[in-house]
Structure 1
Amino acid sequence: MYKVEGIVYSKTMPENNRAFEAHAQRTKRVASQVRSFYDRKQPFRIFHGSTSSTRSQEQDRNKMISTSDFTEILKIDPEKGVAIVEPNVSMEKLVDATLPYGLVAPVIMEFKNITVGGGFSGTSGESSSFRHGVFDNIVNSIEIVLGDGDIVHASRTENSDLFHGAAGSFGTLGVVTKIEVQLVEAGNFMELEYRAISGGPEAVKTIEAYTADNNIQYLDGIMFSKTSGLIIAGRMASNPPLSRKISKYLSRSDPWFYVRAQEILNKKIPGSNGKSYTEYVPIKDYLFRFDRGAFWGGYYAFKYHFAPFNNLTRYLLDDLIHTKTMYTALHKSGLASEFIVQDIGFPYSTTPDFIDYLDDNFNLYPLWLCPLKLNSPYPLTPKGKHYQQDNQRVINIGVWGPGPRKRDDFIAANRAIEAKTKELDGLKCLYAHAYYTAPEFWDLYDKETYDSLREKYNATLLPSVFDKVTNNGPPPANTIFERLKNVRPVRGIYGALCVFWGGGLPFARVHQGLSIVLSPLLLLIFISAWTVSFGKDLLGLRNKRQGKAHVE
């Protein structure tokens, strides 16, 4: 290692390599900016350019370090089976770069625009995580700018406390600028076996059985009701049998994955006189099978706007229902403060209890089931009794759907979920809303170890993980505009217009023109919706209890 102007560089950095040289310049810029904040003792945050979080986002760019241009793949090394990338490389970009070599990262998150850095810092898991663990388990090393501007490398053998501490700390120990990711051999297709299950206990038993089968490489499930669901097991294949039809999920004309899964449960499996059904899917279609519609979040978007949910409307509105677009609209509209979005891991023994709790109190279906293997040291060092051993298997339950519209009721609903999570020794994924008080939060995690790392690596000017994950934004302003936006479906229309005019959609000019042409129709929808909403309130017809989501 050597130091120039307070910045530490590795002697092994490749020379005469434009990609690495450009990366070094970007890293030096960030290090210089961090050093400036450090010298002034001024708190700062990291701006990544995009987010897959539902939390409120900091807007003051003068108090932020931008890593939005750290988007390059620096090296693919097929012989070593690694990719060296910058943190804002998306999952789709990583997959597109590695598949030509016949390789893929062992864990790929299901949304195309989740980034490598987000996966490392945010404890992300996917259907292969029952084998490989969460995403930081497949990271070999990182380059990180510390809170005083020094650039260091960290791995399981070098600065190991920093490496393990940074994993899952949501960027609160430093600015990660480079990541080395493991790669494994990829097949051309995924052979998927859909197995029907009749409830939480059978789901757990089926997951345990598939886990014991070493041929299974991917595993997750969907509960469509308390007593009906699927466990979906996958193994890579070079080519499907000639007699098998190939199913695809990425194009406008393709079905949404969960809609297809329910069709298989309701029609294909009963017709096969068995409990399972097999299909073949191209590898990329499988990896990003939930990107269109954001699992089933897009279904709620259709219903919120009083729009029919069918093949034709999904085809026509395809540009608007990819995950990146939906996250943008969710934040612009403010609807993130009305939708329950939680991923929570539970020990196998308490998973059925939480499914029962959700059924009794929320009735939000479908639910996503994703088994995860957690390896110590666990991110943030949780204190629960199940996390005192070297390895722990949990089942992540994805709970996504409309919650109470009143802010106090919405917070109460989320806090009730948090309380039940603690009772059942679960662990929340902290990318979403969290409403813990400071004592409640640090009753779950090891504050002493976390704070000592922040002191050791000069990270105290960055927000703490508690401050960051509980940043749910201020109450909406009591203005006429905000009150109008609160009338369904005005918030959604406002969010969609922001997307249209943000320029991020394909053929942006065409979409902007359509937004002008369709404005009279949107106004008519608004007036009709307001009339219906006002009438329900006036006549006392509004349903007070959230019913089960109808999935078509």
Structure 2
Amino acid sequence: MTAVATRVHEAGVQRLVDSFRAVPPGEPARLAKRTSNLFRGRAPTAAPGLDTSGLTGVLEVDPVARTADVQGMCTYEHLVDATLPHGLTPLVVPQLRTITLGGAVTGLGIESASWRNGLPHESVLELDVLTGSGEVVTAGPDRHRDLHRGFPNSYGTLGYATRLRIALEPVGSTVSLRHLRFHDLDALLATLGQVVGTGTHEGAPVDYLDGVVFSAEESYLVLGTRSDDPGPTSEHTKSSVYYRSIQHDGPAPKRDLMTTLDYLWRWDTDWFWCSRAFGAQDPRLRRLWPRRWLRSSVYGRLVALDRRLGVADRLEARHGRPPRERVVQDVELPLATTGEFLRWFLREVPIEPVWLCPLRLLDDEPWTLYPLRPGQVYVNVGFWSSVPAEPSRPGATNRRIEREVSRLGGHKSLYSESFYDAEEFARLYGGAAYTDLKDRWDPQRRFPDLYAKAVRGA
């Protein structure tokens, strides 16, 4: 790291520490952020937010060691722009441009390389964390190991990352895609398991793997292979919607070629498929949308505006319909029970499509607050929409999903609304081990605890 980068970083850390000390005792210490990829409310506070404005950059990329030193509030968009000219990317690049590295580690990120590379926190070699004592400590496999293992899925309740050193991997200039259509979910999941187990499909190597379920009779796996094929490459921003481009009728795989940069952000342009709620997928309107507005952060601001003004619920009431319950969730199921969950979901919850993304932990031991089993294949199932609400039973559909996921041996991510009782939550997300971490790293409870933050909206 250069002397200039060091000075800039130290100044940014000092601003964060000073803002932490300015939060009155008894008030929650929370980040001041312009954007967020969380989908749960939080209680208002009069306390000033923590100043992270000096912690948004890439400090150093070492193409020989294949590492990067990155500030905690650096977005993956900015990070990829710094690493890709070296022919490198992070081991896992979450799907949305404005997800921050610190956010993906203290929360959980996932992508189509997760069947090879696990989750983003598994490629963190060391990280600096502002803890509840007001100190910045460095944690890693051999130093403050309990914090290093407990930081993932703590969602800022143990502290905030100021710097992370992460591993990088080489990539090509393009990604060659094969879209496989299935008429049966069991066949799709069997093929997914075969690809994860061998790293190949029909003799060809696979580097990236995810899928989309449109219905029980129409689903797809997308197999990606790193390449340097010169093109021509497809464009899925203005002229075409990516998730629609994978659909086809024939038995043979449909092929596509994208630049690596476009592949990494293929889901961001339309926020997977959620941009359809704003008319952005209507070809007539799409031609009028500025390209810079075709991105998840713009749609997220529109959703936040609707939540403040209640526009959607008022429109539903005008048509004599109940308000909508937001069902925005990612859950991880063991591969063996994923088919049962998908069939239940398609039968009981009127949301489509559904995203699939397999993952395996790289480590041979579980992480403290998200105890997936090492060596086991899981499938992330993502669904993001709304259903008619039951006014007498707030969160009714989300609660049913939570029960089904727990019954089938899975977990859900905590970036959105959760409805667990305290006992069930503790069983799923760390229990006594979390209390021990909180006692050591935030003894004065300057940050809300995980249950208060994830379920009660603290």
2:192 to 207, 213, 224: 207
Contact 1:49 1:67 (C-alpha < 8 Å) held by counterparts: no
Task: Name the CA distance, whole Å, in 2 between partners of 1:468 and 1:321.
Answer: 31
Aligned amino acid, residue 75 of structure 2? S
Shift of 1:437: 1.9
Aligned to 1:288: 265
Q: How does 1:293-304 map to 2 (within 5 A)?
A: 293-302=270-279
Shift of 1:275: 3.1
Task: Name the CA distance, whole Å, in 1 between partners of 2:144 and 2:29.
Answer: 24
1:146 to 120, 127, 131: 131
1:18 aligns with 2:8: no
Contact 1:403 1:410 (C-alpha < 8 Å) held by counterparts: no
Aligned to 2:213: 223
Alignment CA distance shift 1:471-1:261 (3 Å): farther
Aligned to 2:287: 315
Alignment CA distance shift 1:310-1:34 (3 Å): closer
Aligned to 1:30: 16
Look up the SS of the partner of 1:222 in the other structure. Answer: strand
2:30 to 39, 45, 50: 45
Contact 2:185 2:219 (C-alpha < 8 Å) held by counterparts: no
Look up the SS of the partner of 1:89 in the other structure. Answer: coil
Contact 2:23 2:29 (C-alpha < 8 Å) held by counterparts: yes
1:333 aligns with 2:317: no
Task: Name the CA distance, whole Å, in 1 between partners of 2:429 and 2:454.
Answer: 13
Shift of 1:29: 2.6
Contact 1:164 1:377 (C-alpha < 8 Å) held by counterparts: no
Aligned amino acid, residue 439 of structure 1? E
Aligned amino acid, residue 316 of structure 1? L
Shift of 1:95: 0.9
Structure 1 unmatched runs, 5+: 1-13, 474-552
Shift of 1:159: 0.9
1:445 to 426, 429, 443: 429
Shift of 1:66: 2.6
Q: How does 1:164-243 map to 2 (within 5 A)?
A: 164-211=149-196, 212-213=198-199, 215-240=205-230
Aligned to 2:329: 342
Contact 1:90 1:115 (C-alpha < 8 Å) held by counterparts: yes
1:54 to 39, 43, 51: 39
Deviates more, 1:424-433 or 1:311-320: 311-320
Shift of 1:63: 4.8
Task: Name the CA distance, whole Å, in 2 between partners of 1:170 and 1:102.
Answer: 31
Q: How does 1:144-543 map to 2 (within 5 A)?
A: 144-211=129-196, 212-213=198-199, 215-240=205-230, 245-249=232-236, 251=237, 253-262=238-247, 265-266=248-249, 270=250, 274-302=251-279, 309-318=281-290, 320-334=293-307, 338-374=325-361, 375=363, 377-382=365-370, 387=372, 389-409=373-393, 411-458=395-442, 460-471=445-456
Look up the SS of the partner of 1:316 in the other structure. Answer: coil
Shift of 1:350: 0.5
For 1:318-373, what per-residue CA distance to the aligned partner results, in whole angstroms no more than 9, with x for missing partners? Answer: 55542001111112211697331111010011101111111111131111010011
Shift of 1:443: 2.7
Contact 1:34 1:147 (C-alpha < 8 Å) held by counterparts: no
Aligned amino acid, residue 168 of structure 2? L
Task: Name the CA distance, whole Å, in 1 between partners of 2:438 and 2:334.
Answer: 30
- Count of residue pairs brought into register by the alignment: 436
Shift of 1:171: 1.1
Task: Name the CA distance, whole Å, in 2 between partners of 1:113 and 1:62.
Answer: 25
Task: Name the CA distance, whole Å, in 2 between partners of 1:404 and 1:25.
Answer: 49
Contact 1:123 1:379 (C-alpha < 8 Å) held by counterparts: no
Aligned amino acid, residue 433 of structure 2? T
Aligned to 2:112: 127
Shift of 1:286: 0.5
Task: Name the CA distance, whole Å, in 1 between partners of 2:51 and 2:192.
Answer: 41
Task: Name the CA distance, whole Å, in 2 between partners of 1:421 and 1:160.
Answer: 30
Give percent identity, aligned residues only: 26
- Give the TM-score, by structure 1 length: 0.75
Shift of 1:379: 4.2
Shift of 1:234: 0.6
Contact 1:300 1:402 (C-alpha < 8 Å) held by counterparts: no
Contact 1:225 1:366 (C-alpha < 8 Å) held by counterparts: yes
Alignment CA distance shift 1:128-1:37 (3 Å): same
Shift of 1:401: 1.8
For 1:48-91, what per-residue CA distance to the aligned partner results, in whole angstroms no more than 9, with x for missing partners? Answer: 33211111145436253232441111111111111111111111
Shift of 1:446: 2.5
Aligned amino acid, residue 281 of structure 1? M
Task: Name the CA distance, whole Å, in 1 between partners of 2:417 and 2:364.
Answer: 25
Task: Name the CA distance, whole Å, in 2 between partners of 1:77 and 1:64.
Answer: 33
Higher helix share: 1
Shift of 1:410: 5.2
Contact 2:335 2:378 (C-alpha < 8 Å) held by counterparts: yes
Q: How does 1:83-122 map to 2 (within 5 A)?
A: 83-122=68-107
Shift of 1:174: 1.0
Alignment CA distance shift 1:408-1:294 (3 Å): farther
Alignment CA distance shift 1:391-1:49 (3 Å): farther
Contact 2:153 2:370 (C-alpha < 8 Å) held by counterparts: no
Look up the SS of the partner of 2:104 in the other structure. Answer: helix
Shift of 1:426: 1.0
For 1:124-171, what per-residue CA distance to the aligned partner results, in whole angstroms no more than 9, with x for missing partners? Answer: 110000000011111111111111111110111111110111112111
